[in-house]
Amino acid sequence: MKYLATLWFWAVFGLTVVPGFLVGVALWLVTLPFDPDRRVLHAYVCRWCFQYLRCWPGWSVRVTGRERLPAGPCVLVANHQSMADIFAAMGLFHPFKFVSKASLFRIPMVGWMMSLLRYVRVERGRPQSMREMLDVCRAWLHGGMPVLIFPEGTYAEGGRLLPFRRGAFRLALDEKLPVVPVVLEGTTDLVEGDGPWMNPRAHVRVQVLPPVQPEDFGADDGVLADRVRGLFLQALGSHDSSG
Q: Is residue 157 pLDDT above 80, yes or no?
A: no
For residue 57, being part of any structural domain is answered with yes
Contact 203, 62 (CB under 8 A): yes
Instruction: Tell me the pLDDT band of 206, cut-offs 50, 70 and 90.
Output: very high
* CA 219 to chain CA centroid, nearest Å: 26
Q: Is residue 223 pLDDT above 60, yes or no?
A: yes
For residue 242, being part of any structural domain is answered with no
Percent of the chain with pLDDT over 90: 88
| Mean pLDDT in residue range 211-228 | 90
| Mean pLDDT in residue range 167-183 | 96
Instruction: Give the pLDDT of residue 243.
Output: 47
For residue 56, being part of any structural domain is answered with yes
For residue 6, being part of any structural domain is answered with yes
Q: In the chain, which ranges are E strands?
A: 59-64, 75-78, 97-101, 120-122, 147-149, 179-185, 202-208
Percent of the chain with pLDDT over 70: 98
Instruction: Give the pLDDT of residue 241.
Output: 54
For the chain, how many structural domains are there in total?
1
- Any long-range contacts for 18-21 (C-beta under 8 Å, 24+ apart)? 18/109, 20/48, 21/109, 21/112, 21/113
For residue 180, being part of any structural domain is answered with yes
For residue 53, being part of any structural domain is answered with yes
Instruction: Give the pLDDT of residue 242.
Output: 54
Instruction: Give the pLDDT of residue 216.
Output: 78
Could you say which DSSP state residue 186 is in? S
| Mean pLDDT in residue range 182-196 | 91
Instruction: Tell me the pLDDT band of 100, cut-offs 50, 70 and 90.
Output: very high
For residue 241, being part of any structural domain is answered with no
For residue 243, being part of any structural domain is answered with no
What CATH number should be reported for the domain holding residue 36?
A: 3.40.1130
Domain that holds residue 148: 2-236
Q: What is the pLDDT of residues 56-69, one digit of tens each?
A: 999 999 999 999 99
Q: Which of 24-33, 125-134, 176-185 has the weakest average pLDDT?
A: 125-134
Average pLDDT over all residues of the chain = 94
